[in-house]
Chain A
Amino acid sequence: MPGNHIIVGGGLAGLTATMKLAEQGEHIDLFSIVPVKRSHSVCAQGGINGAVNTKGEGDSPMIHFDDTIYGGDFLAHQPPVKAMCEAAPAIIYLFDRMGVMFNRTPEGLLDFRRFGGTKHHRTAFAGATTGQQLLYALDEQVRRYEAAGLVRKFEGWEMLSLVQDESGDCRGIVAVDTRSLEIRAFPADTTLIATGGPGLVFGRSTQSLVNTGSAASACYQAGATYANGEFIQVHPTAVPGEDKNRLISESIRGEGGRVWTYRDGKPWYFLEEMYPAYGNLVPRDIATRAIHKVVFEMKLGIDGNPLVYLDVSHLDPEELNRKVAGVLEIYEKFAGQDPRKVPMKIFPAMHYSMGGLWVDYHQQSNVPGLFAAGECEFQYHGANRLGANSLLSCMHGGNVAEPAMINYAKSKKSAVSSTIFDQEVKRQQESFDKIYRMNGSQNAFALWRELGEIMTENVTVVRHNDKLKATDDKLLEFKDRWGQIGLNDKGKWANQEVLFVRQLWNMLELARPITIGALNRNESRGAHYKPEFPERDDDKFMKTTMASWSSDGPRFSWEPVDVSVIKPRPRRYDVDKSATESKAA
């Protein structure tokens, strides 16, 4: 008998799992706040990595694996990363067969570009809207299964909480229809969370408005472990905005874009000077810290502002149009200038969470029956993610989850009484009723802005223990003030404010393991940088931060990192990676 599965989130990871399960004849209820075709995966620009080695460079999945582990500063468990890199070429080929219009070589083969943290042309791309193209291909395949009756879509529904039986196993979810505000329980054999990153915890980030981290936070509050939350990637090149910071893809540098600012009246290409081996294609954490240094320590931002130049004006406009038009259009539309002619003005922005729900090598969380895939889980990127590995990890995570979910469903225990579902619906209904009664003086959206500002200031690029402690104190204050929110909209239909007030609470809960996780980690590793502790400390901190929710705040434990395949060595980008290899040997 086919199993019944719930997938929460219709981005790349969620749709992959849906497609794979449906292919096996399983039944899927797919939940998404937005129509799945509008998921945040559309924002991924640059491409997807896979060591296909069609460029005569001697690339291989093992080199991709080493680049990924090294780029992640040896914090990722190695076996699942190795499996991902080995699976990568077949994943790209599958997308090719599903009709993704990847760029081609003159011979009609897939073309590959270079990305940060590698010396190889390993990134397949469809213009500069690769995420959008991959998502659409999966959306089409899932629509095919929807037409065949295997997939039921609940678009416009938001997951509120898990339904757990007396032993704590996940038996389904409770969700709300964002239009009618009807709250309903949905039983299932397994549940997969694929809800993306927590960008909105940082206010303005490069992420989309659905990326509140609310669903992952609900799982964390229900007992799922949140791992490595402190590892937040700040992308070096974004255009600061009032509503969000818009990403300017790493592919711009992959195609020859250069980062510079004026020093002594002359352009200074500081990345090329500081990191001669990789130049503009150092990993994101390295480039971000260099820009911070140039702007804040050396005071060399453009006209004294926190901005530096990202320049493609020396490159052939036709070539640019063929390969990165989508990115350049974003700059043109939102900054009002043509980057083919004038250098772009950019600054780093919160972009990605390496941390997330803890999962085992089969994507299952510590809550039996609850799985996670994509950015909302912690497994593939260690302390820093390499560009174009995120689309890959989404797809791979969805692939790995499928057989594990089917096996779990087959071994499922006896049916549960409907009371646990009724109770959870009642609990959620009461929490909504409580929000409807809120009539204090605080505005939820203004409070969110304050949260974003302090998180961005203290818990992103440079971290100081006193400021982290102060931030956590502030989070507790915000939780108090949350109770004093006054609701402007008392309507019972499509009330976005009520939904947001709930999401904001979940953001506050999730901000704590991120902040305290950073406070606890007295070293510098990947995206986590503390001037007080500038070196990586493998003796004390080559371990996964594991946060469990409790009513008194997060409780922490640590898990050793599986480094069974590649021996850890120092991570440097001023010299070629091979130099560090010989040193370690």
Chain B
Amino acid sequence: MAEKTQVLRIKRQDSPNSTPYYEEFEIPYLAHHNVISMLMEIRRNPVTRQGKRVAPVVFDANCLEEVCGSCTMVINGRVRQACSQLADALNGPATIEPMTKFPVVRDLWVDRSKMFDYLKKAHSWIPIDGTYDLGPGPRIAPDAQQFAYLFSRCMTCGCCLEACPQVNSHSKFMGAAVIGQVYLMSQHPTGQMNHEERLKAMMSEGGVADCGNAQNCVEVCPKDIPLTTAIGAVGRQTSIKWLRDLFMK
């Protein structure tokens, strides 16, 4: 009886500007394998299904517990973290590709630095007076904390950008993740004090108005963050600000 195996068809690209190509690998089956542990198996024996020795597949991964966001890839056409994609759930040969909305560094590793730039642009922080001891922060009701916590788990993984039709080479749309963070900052009593600043960023190019309401973001978010709630709320807040700015001038 032939040993059970898992076939992976991997999209490879040697450098940012080179032409991508596919290679197939066949890995001995193991219970509890996931896509990362299979990529590690390939590193130990980087030979394709056709018997060709190749460079090991380059990939981005770190925590392997789905909290760091690193290993986000497109697996059988769906964007997700590779570490939590169990082999048992693949049901047959699987295609592993890098995300398409970010520049490829090499193979499955992409450059998501623009997402961190968006956070900078949106002033996504609480501007505290200083790090010296000023005692406790503001009181927050448990319900309010539970609600805000949903948004604070965003890993900047990029799934929501990958799935969004509005994020493309012709548009500057920053995507749902940063809008979720702007909304999160407004949930904190101190963050609320300078919410206007962040709304300004949300009203600029690539801001919340570019959302096309496809709602794919909320479908693919690995942390089930209610991103459409954030988009709706921030959208309303920017409209109010726009009107107020108009009349207060």
Contact = CB atoms under 8 A, between A and B. Distances in A.
Given A209-B64, A330-B65, A143 B133 contact: no
Interface in B66-95: 66-70, 83-84, 86, 88
A446 interface: yes
A179 B105 contact: yes
B68 A38 contact: yes
Given A99-B126, A155-B113, A488-B46, A126 B149 contact: yes
Contact of A37 (B40, B135, B156): B156
A94 interface: yes
B51 interface: no
Contact of A494 (B109, B124, B134): B109
Contacts of A109: 136, 139
A239 B184 CA distance: 32
A109 B139 CA distance: 6
Contact of B69 (A38, A90, A99): A38
B125 to A, nearest CB: 4
Nearest to B142: A104
Interface in A110-148: 110, 126-127, 129, 132-133, 136-137, 140-141, 143-144, 146-147
Contact of B68 (A23, A102, A208, A493): A208
A37 B145 contact: no
Interface in B87-136: 88, 105-106, 109, 112-113, 116, 119-120, 123-128, 130-131, 133-136
Interface residues of B, number: 70
Interface stretch (B30-38, B165-173, B209-217, B232-240): B30-38
A333 B66 contact: yes
Given A93-B133, A97-B126, A140-B124, A445 B66 contact: no
A493 B62 contact: no
Interface string B137-173: 1011110011011001101100000000000000000
Contact of B67 (A43, A143, A495): A43
A101 B84 contact: no
Nearest to B57: A496
Interface in A327-369: 330, 333-334, 336
A34 B155 CA distance: 13
Interface in A484-522: 488-491, 493-497
Contacts of B148: 101
Interface centre among A19, A40, A209, by most chain B C-beta atoms within 10 angstroms, is A209
Contact of B61 (A126, A143, A209, A241): A209
A443 interface: yes
Contacts of B126: 97-99, 137, 140
Given A144-B127, A491-B55, A246 B65 contact: yes
A494 B105 contact: yes
Contacts of B109: 494
A140 B120 CA distance: 9
Given A42-B63, A445-B40, A497-B56, A322 B128 contact: no
A93 B135 contact: yes
Interface in A311-339: 322, 326, 330, 333-334, 336
A565 to B, nearest CB: 23
A333 B133 contact: no
A243 B66 contact: no
Given A143-B124, A493-B15, A19 B131 contact: yes
A129 B62 CA distance: 16
A99 B33 contact: no
Contacts, number: 200
B123 to A, nearest CB: 8
A40 B45 contact: no
B135 to A, nearest CB: 6
B142 A105 contact: yes
B5 interface: no
A42 B68 contact: yes
Contact of B55 (A23, A40, A488): A488
Contacts of A322: 146
Contacts of A42: 63, 67-68, 155
Contacts of B140: 101, 104, 108
Given A20-B131, A446-B44, A489 B62 contact: no
A225 interface: no
Interface string B17-41: 0000000000000101110110010
B34 A242 contact: yes
Contact of B40 (A38, A39, A243, A495): A243
A449 interface: yes
B190 A488 contact: no
A127 B120 CA distance: 26
A347 to B, nearest CB: 13
A105 B106 CA distance: 48
Contacts of A495: 55, 58
B108 to A, nearest CB: 11
B230 to A, nearest CB: 15
B55 A489 contact: yes
Contacts of A39: 62, 68
27 contacts: A23-B131, A42-B68, A93-B135, A94-B128, A97-B190, A99-B188, A101-B149, A104-B139, A104-B141, A129-B153, A136-B152, A140-B125, A143-B124, A146-B120, A147-B120, A209-B62, A209-B64, A210-B62, A241-B34, A242-B30, A242-B32, A243-B40, A246-B64, A445-B40, A488-B54, A490-B55, A493-B15
Interface of B: 14-15, 30, 32-34, 36-37, 40, 43-46, 53-56, 58, 60-70, 83-84, 86, 88, 105-106, 109, 112-113, 116, 119-120, 123-128, 130-131, 133-137, 139-142, 145-146, 148-149, 152-153, 155-156, 185, 188, 190-191
Nearest 4 A/B pairs, CB to CB: A108-B139, A96-B137, A489-B55, A140-B125
Given A126-B152, A241-B34, 18 more contacts: A40-B62, A43-B68, A93-B134, A94-B131, A97-B134, A97-B190, A99-B137, A100-B152, A101-B152, A106-B142, A143-B124, A144-B123, A333-B84, A449-B44, A488-B54, A491-B14, A493-B14, A493-B106
